[in-house]
Amino acid sequence: MPTLSTERLTRATSLLRLAESKVRILRSIAWSPEVKERFFADGARELPRVSYPSFDAAPVHAQLAEARALIDFEPVIDAWLGRTADAIATSADLLASVEKPAFLEYGARLYGLPTTPHAGGSPIELARTFDRVFAEVSHVDLGAPPAACHLADAVAVRMREACDTLFGTDAPEVLVVDHLSANALAGPRRVQIRRDACFTDRDVEQLVQHEAYVHVCTSLNGGHQDAVPILGASHAGTTRTQEGLAVFAEFITGTLDPDRTRRLADRVLAIQMAIEGADFLQVYRYYRERAASESQAFESTRRVFRGGVLTGGAPFTKDSVYLDGFLRVSDFLRSVVSLGRTDGLQLLFCGKLDVDDIPALARLAELGLCRPPLYLPPWASDHRYLVTFLAYTSFLSSLPPSDHHASDTAMLAHVPVLRGFGRNERGPRAAADDGSDPD
């Protein structure tokens, strides 16, 4: 086995990061605001007219070849670096195939498909379960406060406070911008919030947990990994775990609500519709039945078709990773707790990585080449609730199907539904009865 050279490792991972820096998927397939304006000016009856910049994958592949020539360390490290190089190469090929059927093939390699099997079930199965359950409880008053719109400037104040508290002098700049493909976007140097976006009370804290306490956190931690620079790069090979970890953060902190969860499920269902041949207009009409506005329906449909084939068959599958990654990260953290391996939680925040990279990073940490994370979100640094919750869910997952569910179902089938029972007419829930609540 060759001796592990720190200099060669740093050189190889620096080359991987240099290659990755040439591949900006979301930026390259973003739609200009004019696309949306034309779509509605035409009465929302014609496919959008979109153009993308051309992309030459050859320079990226050449850079990767130079990096691959240096990869000869230990099997577990070589496997990780090889997967990273493959993900960057596939990302380049994805951009070179926009608006072509091959776009789906490369996207599936990077992000999977809604039907990709997982030990805990596929994303499409989880999405359909969420969709069914939320439809069944749609008549239930869940106790949400009256509809509210927190404007971008107010959200920015909360985001700055959260970033300053956790990151101190490393805190990113928080900006309110006019044009953004999402409501918010976070990186190690800046967090951007779209000026015309409207946020609910839960949205605000979701953004803090998701964008600041995961995406910014892992970016900053990765940026401090001097011996392994690739850990500071958000390449597509890390997307599943990074988005899954961010959704898990929402979940474990109690900020993941039915509206947000249903949006994540709808993304998976819409991607599957497009894979099966639905075009942009068909998916837009699907969203129009569910979204609060035409604008929101358009934005949700745009996420599915950006870079892909507007007539159907080859969508952008990235949004499958939110539920897929949520399943994977949840499984991993249950294993961490059941085995008493809290070092695994520390490794998960060392930078931009995939769960499958943990063995390689553990080896590098053993050699002193991967540093512990500088920053951890509150839920990950205070393990009390996390361990309790995951220990309980680990126990539940080990149980065989219970007879109680069948007997409870039979019992409740004969119990009358008490609609409105228990509502607090004096408290904030009373607003649900006066028509002001969107549900």
Q: What integer is the mean pLDDT of 168-183?
A: 90
What is the number of other CB atoms lying within 10 angstroms of the CB of residue 392?
12
Query: pLDDT, tens digit, for every residue of 46-61?
Result: 999 999 999 999 999 9
Query: pLDDT, tens digit, for every residue of 106-131?
Result: 999 999 999 998 766 799 999 999 99
Q: Is the pTM of this model over 0.85?
A: yes
- Of 152-156, 188-192, 420-424, least confident by mean pLDDT is 420-424
The C-alpha atoms of residue 208 and residue 171 are separated, in whole angstroms, by 13
pLDDT > 70? residue 437: no
pLDDT band, residue 292 (cuts 50/70/90): confident
pLDDT band, residue 427 (cuts 50/70/90): very low
Nearest-5° angle of CA 91, CA 96, CA 100? 110
Q: What integer is the mean pLDDT of 423-434?
A: 38
Q: Are 52 and 307 in contact (CB under 8 A)?
A: yes
Q: What rounded mean pLDDT belongs to the chain? A: 89
User: How confident is the model at residue 140, as a pLDDT?
Assistant: 67
Q: What integer is the mean pLDDT of 416-427?
A: 59
Q: Which two tokens stand for residue 222?
A: 């990765």
Taking each helix axis as running N to C, give the angle between helix 321-338 and helix 384-398, from 0 to 180 degrees, rounded to the nearest 10. Answer: 100
Q: What integer is the mean pLDDT of 24-42?
A: 95
Backbone angles phi, psi at 309, to 5 degrees: -95, 115
Task: Kindly state the percentage of the chain with pLDDT values over 90.
Answer: 72
Q: What integer is the mean pLDDT of 357-364?
A: 97
Query: pLDDT, tens digit, for every residue of 50-90?
Result: 999 999 999 999 999 999 999 999 999 999 999 999 999 99
User: How confident is the model at residue 435, as a pLDDT?
Assistant: 29
pLDDT band, residue 426 (cuts 50/70/90): very low
User: How confident is the model at residue 420, as a pLDDT?
Assistant: 64
pLDDT > 90? residue 436: no
Query: pLDDT, tens digit, for every residue of 229-285?
Result: 999 999 999 999 999 999 999 999 999 998 899 999 999 999 999 999 999 999 999
What is the number of other CB atoms lying within 10 angstroms of the CB of residue 176?
18
- Nearest to 245, CA basis, from 322, 166, 360: 322
pLDDT > 60? residue 155: yes
Query: pLDDT, tens digit, for every residue of 321-336?
Result: 999 999 999 999 988 8
Q: What integer is the mean pLDDT of 100-107?
A: 98
Task: Kindly state the percentage of the chain with pLDDT values over 70.
Answer: 90
Q: Which two tokens stand for residue 294?
A: 């035409």
User: How confident is the model at residue 169, as a pLDDT?
Assistant: 96
Nearest-5° angle of CA 233, CA 14, CA 54? 65
Between 45 and 424, the higher pLDDT residue: 45
User: How confident is the model at residue 196, as a pLDDT?
Assistant: 86
The C-alpha atoms of residue 351 and residue 360 are separated, in whole angstroms, by 13
User: How confident is the model at residue 143, as a pLDDT?
Assistant: 64
Between 318 and 424, the higher pLDDT residue: 318
pLDDT > 70? residue 431: no
The C-alpha atoms of residue 177 and residue 277 are separated, in whole angstroms, by 35
